[in-house]
Structure 1
């Protein structure tokens, strides 16, 4: 717990988390406006024109989407926090001091993983409270009810929490793999923002080539896509069941955590 507290202190006493927090709030505002428009159109019977069909067109599924607004960019921000928790040690040349103070490197990385997960929980809590307040007001004013009693909404909120925790863990894993701070941040951001779009396009082209839209379901192997699918309201022709996304994301988290520990234990720190 001393290691966890020290990691939280390192983040809390810098301005980094403020900037990332502001970015997360701005992403919520933009995403909420867009999702509110999609909800209004879908529940008015225009869902097919937006590509929203099947279980995803139900009021509960749309409410779940609204109550998790801002997840896409929010996950990137918590991933960057996880990266900075590791790369800051090398950027500010404090890695040697850290590992001399705590020779058990596994304990250091586990401390960073736990601290990262707690920060992910904090980001989730703040964003969820904002989404719940704004979403309940929007749905009530449009005579849809809050829909907060639906299991689909509860599941989306819980798995959104899991996504925030996992992406901070992924960030720590990336930081152990690429210790150069600028290189790690740029690589991760590009893969997340541009890589996700490229993967989606590739699967769409493959689906057209094979003349079957079910191929698009396989984009769940990409972690950013798995996060979105995990909190979706249900299965459709182009998206697998929510539990598939959850399993994929948990797998990435376990792989990232184990890799982070093994790499750090073998790395020469000088």
Structure 2
């Protein structure tokens, strides 16, 4: 089986089941809600129309990018989950058995998953960006803040978010090749993305010196790639971030390392 055939087979597996669009609906709802709330808070503070707000005034110019970037800041878990499920689901249901029997070249099969993973990641990136911009711009316009939809910087931000979503899908595939058990893989992904990394990054934002370590974390590298981060708004150390292209390479590096480890270990084993 060639890479084209493997990609076609993987495409059929992904888009003939309900999993991808169920997660897509949740992604859109979650990102839209988050962007709307951030626009309400930051837009209200920047415009001075949020009653009871205290602290330094926020520049209205930086609010749109911060709100729109929530698509990747909180939505990256979805392409990560999809990439993980692309592999672990096949282990769970043993659909890899006939595939491996028909195509002993396991690297080709994994290559097909990479191609489809990038496509799904880009699709989720488009949906997430549209949700964040739609909800965020709508709320910001209520406060009379320029939504910056005509700015080249905004669309450059969107382009980087699409790249981040695609890379997160590859990281998920890497996770799936290392952790074959689907339940364990999902628990690890959710624990790391929703609890461990946010807590550690928050600590890094207030503890000097520790921020130099935290900036190499996957989610921090993703934020650096996008160029905006919610965590920077709560940082008190003035922590530096990676250059956007370095952030992209770091995120890609995580995917490559996980895939290599998986190929050298679990991906070579027989299906239980």
Give the shorter-chain TM-score range.
0.7 to 0.9
The runs of at least 4 aligned residues of structure 1 exceeding 6 Å deviation read: 49-53
Shift of 1:178: 0.8
Residue 106 (structure 2) aligns with: 105
Q: Which runs of 5+ in 1 are unaligned?
A: none
Which residue does the alignment assign to 1:10? Answer: 13
Give, in angstroms, the shift of residue 51 of structure 1.
Answer: 8.1
Cα 1:42–1:183 change in 2 (3 A) is same
Q: What's the TM-score once normalised by structure 2's chain length?
A: 0.82
Deviation at 1:257, TM superposition (A): 3.7
Counterpart of 1:221?
216
Corresponding residue for 1:133? 134
CA distance in 2, matches of 1:8, 1:183: 25
Q: Is the 8 Å Cα contact of residues 141 and 147 (structure 2) preserved in structure 1? A: yes
Name the counterpart of 2:66: 65
CA distance in 2, matches of 1:51, 1:263: 52
- In the alignment, what sits opposite 1:167? 168
Specify whether residues 269 and 260 from structure 1 end up closer, same or farther in structure 2 by C-alpha distance, changes over 3 A only.
same
Deviation at 1:35, TM superposition (A): 1.5
Asked if the contact 1:60/1:150 (under 8 Å) is kept, the reply is no
Using the alignment, how far apart are the partners of 2:6 and 2:61 within structure 1?
Answer: 41
Gaps of at least 5 residues in structure 2 are: none
- Superposition TM-score, scaled by structure 1 size: 0.82
Q: In 2, distance between residues paired with 1:197 and 1:233?
A: 16
The farther-off stretch of 138-147 and 104-113 is 138-147
Q: CA RMSD in A?
A: 3.0
Matches within 5 A, 1:1-270: 1-44=4-47, 58-203=59-204, 207=207, 212=208, 215-233=210-228, 237-243=238-244, 244-263=246-265, 266-269=268-271
* Count of matched residue positions in the alignment of Structure 1 and Structure 2: 260
Contact 2:24–2:127 (Cα < 8 Å) also in 1: no
- SS of structure 2 residue aligned to 1:109: helix
**Any idea what SS the aligned residue of 1:32 has?**
helix
Deviations 1:117-141 (A, max 9, x none): 1101111112222333333443444
CA-CA distance at 1:222 after TM superposition: 1.4
User: Retained in 2: the 8 A contact 1:83–1:175?
Assistant: yes
CA contact (8 A) 1:87 1:175 kept: yes
- Mapped to 2, the partners of 1:116 and 1:181 lie a distance apart of 17
Q: Which has the higher helix share?
A: 1
Change (3 A) 1:75 1:233: closer
Shift of 1:172: 0.6
